[in-house]
Chains A and B, each alone.
Chain A
Amino acid sequence: MLEAIRLSKSYNGVPALTELNLKVDAGEIFCLLGANGAGKTTTINLFLGFLKPSDGSALVGGKDVQADPLAARRQVAYIPEQVMLYPSFSGLENLQYFSALGGHDYSPAQLRTFLFEAGLPEEAISRRVGGYSKGMRQKVGIAIALAKQARAILMDEPTSGLDPKASNEFSRLLEQVSKKGVCVLMATHDLFRAKEVGHRVGIMKHGRLVATLGTAEISHLDLERTYLDHMRD
C-alpha cells in the first residue's frame, strides 16, 4: 500500500532522508522509531506530498505521490502530533467540513457514528472545538481519518501528550482500523506503544532506516536494547 523506493530528501544539501526502501502492506501497522531529526517526519511528509523528494519516489496504492498528488491524497489520511481544528466549529462540524473536502457527503447520524467510533464523548460532539482537550482533538482527527475511508493512515507522534488511558484507547482503535485492511505508518518515540500495536518497527538514524524488526519476534526489552544500541554513535 505504501512504498518508498530509494526515497531521499535533503534540505540545502543536508540529507534528511537517504535512500529509504520500505513497503507497508494493507492491514499492517509499521512504526518508525528514532531520535529527533532521524527522518521519521520527513518520511511521512514525503508520503503526504508535502515535500518533494530529492531522489527516488513515494508510492501510495501504486501511485506516485508527486506525479498524481490528488489521487494519492484520496487514499491517505493524516493524523499529526497536534490535531488542530477550527475552534469556532463543533467536532461534528469540523468532521463534516473535512469529509466534504474529501468528497464524502455524510448525514449527521453517520458523522456522529465516526466520532463515537473514535471515542469522542457524546456531550462533546456538538460543542465547539475551542474547548476540547488535546485528546479530544486527536479523536476528532481519527474520526476525520475514518470518515475519509482512507486505505492508509500516516501518523506523526499521535499519542504524544496523551494520558495513558487515552493512549490505550488510541492503540485499540488502531488495531481495529488495521483489521479492516487499512495500512498504518506511525512515527513515534514510544517504544512500548510501537511494540504493542505495530506489526513491524523500523529504527531510523541520521536519515537512514538502520533496522527493521517484527514485533512478534522480540520482547519489549529486546526492542529497547536494539534501539539503544543503534542510537549509540
Chain B
Amino acid sequence: MLRPVVLHELQQLMRDRVGVVVLLLLGLALAGGLTTGLTMQRKQQAIHAGVQAENARHFQEMRAQLEAVAAGRKPKGFFFANRPTAVRYTIARPVSPLTVLSLGDSELMPASAEVGLFSSSTTRFQNASIDNPQNQHIGRFDTAFVLIYILPLLLLALTYNLLSVERERGTLPLLLNQPAGLLRILLSKSLASFLLLVVPAAVVPPAVTLLASPGAAGHFANLALFVLLTLSYGVFWIGAALLVNLLGLRSATNALLLGSLWLTMVLLLPATLQAALDAFYPLPSRIELISQARVAEVENSQKRKEIADRFYQDHPELVPAGGKENRTLDFYATFLETEKAVHPVHAHFEQQLSAQQAWVRRLQFLSPAVIFREGLAAAAGTHSANLAGFRQQIDAFQTQVRDFVLPRVVQARELTLADYAVAPVFPSGSARAVSLPWSGLIGLLFPSAILIALASRRAASIESIFLKG
C-alpha cells in the first residue's frame, strides 16, 4: 500500500467534511445499536435472575413446609411439598454476555422453560415471551443491524467515487502519470476509508462490551470472530466499490450500481431467500399448535377414566397397589394422551424449521449480509443454534426429572426432606457451547478476493478507463 495516498485520502475526507459526517453517523448509529443491545441484554439478565430466584424460592418453600410439618407446626400456604409433582423447575435460559453485540435470535428464544412431570418438549416453550411481531420480523436496531445495514451504506458513501472523482476533478492524468500503479493507488485510497470506518466499527462494539458486560472477557474467540467478520464484511464492500469504479463510469452511475448491489445483497436476497423457504417449508401456525393442544386437553379431560384404563392395560407395572385410585397417575396418562395428539403438529413444526435452517446454512453464501448476520449472532451466542443447545439440555434434564418423580408417583410416596436432597439439579452455567462459524470468514473473503481480482484485471487496462473520461 502507498502510505502517502492513504494519508492524503484521509486528509481529503476530513477536509471535505464527508469523512466527518460519515464518522459522526456511524458513531450515532453505533451508540444507538449498543444502547439497544445493552438495554436488551440487561432486561434478559434481569428476567434470568428473576426466574432463577423464583425457582430457588419454590424449593425453599417446599423444604420449609416439610420442616414445619416435621416440627409439628402448620406449614405456610397450601401444603403440597410432600407430593412428588412438587418437584418441578423453572429453568432460566442463560443470557450470553455478548448479547449487546447482536440480539440475534435471543428475542425469539423463551426466557425460561418449565420442567416437571407434566411438561414436555411440545408444550414447554408455549409460554415464550410475547413481543411485537414486527420486531421479530425485521429485528431491532441493535449493533448487528448497524453493521449489517448501515456500515456498508456509509462505506459506499466514501468509496463510490474512488476513481470517478479523480476523473471528474481532472486529477486522473497526473495520477496515472505517477509510477505507482492504478490498482495500488485505488487500494490505498480504499484502505483510508477502511481505516476510518470499518476498523472503528469492528473494534468499538467489542471494546464497549468488554467494559459494560461482565463475563465478556472470557469469550475471546467470540470477540475475535466478531472483529474478523466485521473487517471481512468491510473488505467485501470495498472490493465491490473498487470493481464498480474500475468500470470507468460516472460517479452518479457508480452510486446507483453500488446502491442497487446493497439493496440486492442486504435486503432483497435475504428476503427472497426467506420467502422461498417459507413457501417450500411452511411452518405450521403457532396458534394452531396451541389450539390443538387445548382442544386435546379438554377432550381428554372428559374421558380421563377411559384413558387411564387403557394406560394401565398398556402399563400393568404401573397399576396402583390394591387397586387404589392414583389421581396423579391418571392425570399423567391423560397428559401423555394429549401429548400424543399434539405431537404430529409439533414434529412437523420442528421438521420444517430444521429444513429452513439447513437451507439457510446452505444458501447463506449467496449473500454476504446473510453470512455476516448468521456469523454475528453465533459470535454473540444468540444464534438459534444456541437455543437448540439449551433445548437439548432441557430435554435431557426432563428425562432426569421424570425418572425421579414418576416412581414416587406410582408408589404414591410422600416426599421428605431426604427426597429433596437428592432431587435432580439443573447444571448451572452457560448454555452448551456451539462451535463458532469461522467458515463465515471464508464465505466473506472469497467473494471479496474475486471482486478484487476482477478489479485488478480492469486496472491493467488503463486505456479503457482513460478513454471513458
Contacts and interface: CB of A to CB of B under 8 A. Distances in A.
Interface in B135-184: 169-171, 173-181
Contacts, number: 70
Contacts of B174: 78, 80, 83-85, 98, 141, 144
A45 B466 contact: yes
| Interface range, B side | 20 to 34
Interface string A89-107: 1000000011011110000
Nearest to A73: B179
Nearest to B461: A52
Given A50-B462, A50-B466, A101-B4, A86 B171 contact: yes
A198 B467 CA distance: 29
Contact of A88 (B15, B173, B180, B185): B15
A14 interface: no
Contacts of A45: 466
B195 interface: no
B5 interface: yes
Nearest to A52: B463
Interface string B5-47: 1001001100110000000000000000000000000000000
Given A49-B462, A50-B466, A97-B8, A78 B177 contact: yes
Contacts of B179: 70-71, 73-74, 101-103
Interface residues of A, number: 31
B69 interface: no
Contacts of A52: 463
A77 interface: yes
Contacts of A194: none
Nearest to B175: A101
Given A48-B176, A100-B4, A101-B5, A85 B171 contact: yes
A80 B173 contact: yes
A73 B11 contact: no
A50 B463 contact: yes
Contacts of B177: 48, 73, 76-78
Contacts of B171: 84-86
A50 B173 contact: yes
Interface in A30-55: 45, 48-52
A160 interface: no
Count chain A CB atoms within 10 A of each CB in B8, B177, B179, B462 and give the residue with the most: B177
B100 to A, nearest CB: 38
A102 B181 CA distance: 11
B164 to A, nearest CB: 14
B2 interface: yes
Nearest to B469: A50
A83 B170 CA distance: 8
B15 A70 contact: no
Nearest to B185: A101
Residue of B170, B174, B175, B463 contacting most chain A CB atoms (<10 Å): B174
Contacts of B466: 45, 50-51
A76 B170 CA distance: 19
A178 to B, nearest CB: 20
Contacts of A70: 179-181
Contacts of B8: 86, 89, 97
Contacts of B178: 73, 98, 101-102
Contacts of A100: 4
Contacts of A101: 2, 4-5, 175, 178-180, 185
A88 to B, nearest CB: 4
Nearest to B462: A50
Contacts of A80: 170, 173-174
Contacts of A82: 170
17 contacts: A50-B176, A70-B179, A73-B179, A76-B177, A80-B170, A85-B171, A86-B169, A86-B171, A88-B15, A98-B174, A100-B4, A101-B5, A101-B175, A101-B179, A101-B180, A103-B179, A141-B174
Lowest 5 A-B CB distances belong to which pairs?
A: A84-B170, A100-B4, A101-B178, A88-B15, A74-B179
Interface of A: 45, 48-52, 69-71, 73-74, 76-78, 80, 82-89, 97-98, 100-103, 141, 144
Given A87-B169, A101-B178, 6 more contacts: A48-B176, A51-B466, A73-B179, A83-B174, A89-B12, A101-B2
